[in-house]
Structure 1
Amino acid sequence: MTDTRTVPDLFSLDGKVAVVTGASSGLGVAFAQGLAEAGADLVLGARRVDRLADTAALVEAAGRRALTVQTDVADPDSCSNLVALAMEEFGRVDILVNNAGIGTAAPATREAPDDFRRVIDVNLNGCYWMAQACGRVMQPGSSIINISSVLGITTAGLPQAAYASSKAGLIGMTRDLAQQWTGRKGIRVNALAPGFFASEMTDELPPGYLETQAHRIPAGRQGDPVELAATAVFLASDAASYITGQTLAVDGGFTIT
Structure 2
Amino acid sequence: MPVAIITGASKGLGRALGAALAERGWDLVLDARTAPVLAETAGALSAYGTRVEALPGDVTDAAHRAALVAAARRLGGLDLLVNNASVLGAEPLVRLEGQTLEGLRRALEVNVVAALGLTQEALPLLRSSTAGTVIMLSSDAAAEAYVTWGGYGASKAALDHLAAVLGAEEPGLRVWAVDPGDMDTDLYAAAVPVDDGKRPAPESVVPAFLRLLDERPVTGRYAAPSLLEPR
* Equivalent residue in structure 2 for 1:98, among 83, 92, 102: 83
Deviations 1:105-132 (A, max 9, x none): 1221222211110011001111111111
Q: Which residue of 2 aligns with 1:234?
A: 211
Q: Is contact 1:149-1:192 (8 Å) kept?
A: yes
Q: Which residue of 2 aligns with 1:218?
A: none
What does residue range 1-257 of structure 1 map to in structure 2 within 5 Å? Answer: 15-88=1-74, 90-103=75-88, 104=90, 105-138=93-126, 139=128, 140-156=130-146, 158-182=147-171, 186-206=172-192, 208-209=194-195, 211=197, 222-237=199-214, 239-240=215-216, 242-244=217-219, 246-251=220-225
TM-score, scaled to structure 2: 0.88
Alignment RMSD (CA, Å): 2.0
**AA aligned opposite 2:59:** V
TM-score, scaled to structure 1: 0.80
Q: Which residue of 2 aligns with 1:6?
A: none
| SS state at 1:172 partner | helix
CA distance in 2, matches of 1:191, 1:110: 29
**AA aligned opposite 1:170:** L
Q: Is contact 1:17-1:42 (8 Å) kept?
A: yes
Report which of the two structures shows the higher radius of gyration computed on alpha carbons. Answer: 1
Deviations 1:162-190 (A, max 9, x none): 100111111111111111112xxx22110
CA distance in 2, matches of 1:21, 1:236: 18
Deviations 1:132-162 (A, max 9, x none): 1111222232111110111111133x31221
- Structure 1 segments, 4+ long, off by >6 Å, are none
CA distance in 1, matches of 2:208, 2:81: 14
| SS state at 2:16 partner | helix
Q: Is contact 2:209-2:224 (8 Å) kept?
A: no
- Structure 1 207/125 Cα, relative in aligned 2: closer, same or farther at 3 Å? closer
Of 67-76 and 170-179, more deviation after overlay is shown by: 67-76
Of 75-84 and 19-28, more deviation after overlay is shown by: 75-84
| SS state at 2:121 partner | helix
Aligned length: 222
| SS state at 1:23 partner | coil
The share of aligned pairs that are identical, in percent, is: 30
